[in-house]
Amino acid sequence: MTSPREPLIGPDGEVREITADDLKNARRGRPPLPPEARKKRVQLMLDPDVVEKLRAGGRGVSTRVNAILRKELGLTGS
């Protein structure tokens, strides 16, 4: 069993010196969301003109579709 890691921020609010062990155990990116908060993969069939209009906005089609659906469904938050 491994010992608990020392917090990176000390009681004085300052970041302590980072060790090789800290770097070895570091995670990249954001922490994973709990399962109930994760996005779900779905498949949709859309009319060609709808797809064209969505893609005309550039990257982030899924994000825009999600925002449009949330607004239409009266949902708040992200």
Residue pair 10/16 in contact (Cβ under 8 Å)? The answer is yes
pTM (two decimals): 0.58
CB atoms within 10 A of CB 65: 14
pLDDT tens, the chain, 78 aa long: 455 678 888 889 899 888 898 888 887 888 888 999 999 999 999 999 999 999 999 999 999 999 999 999 999 865
CA-to-CA distance for 74 and 14, rounded, in angstroms? 44
Task: Report the amino acid identity of residue 3.
Answer: S
Residues contacting residue 46 through CB under 8 Å, at least 6 positions apart? 54
In this predicted structure, what is the pLDDT of residue 3? 57
List phi, psi (to 5°) of 62: -60, -40
CA-to-CA distance for 48 and 46, rounded, in angstroms? 6
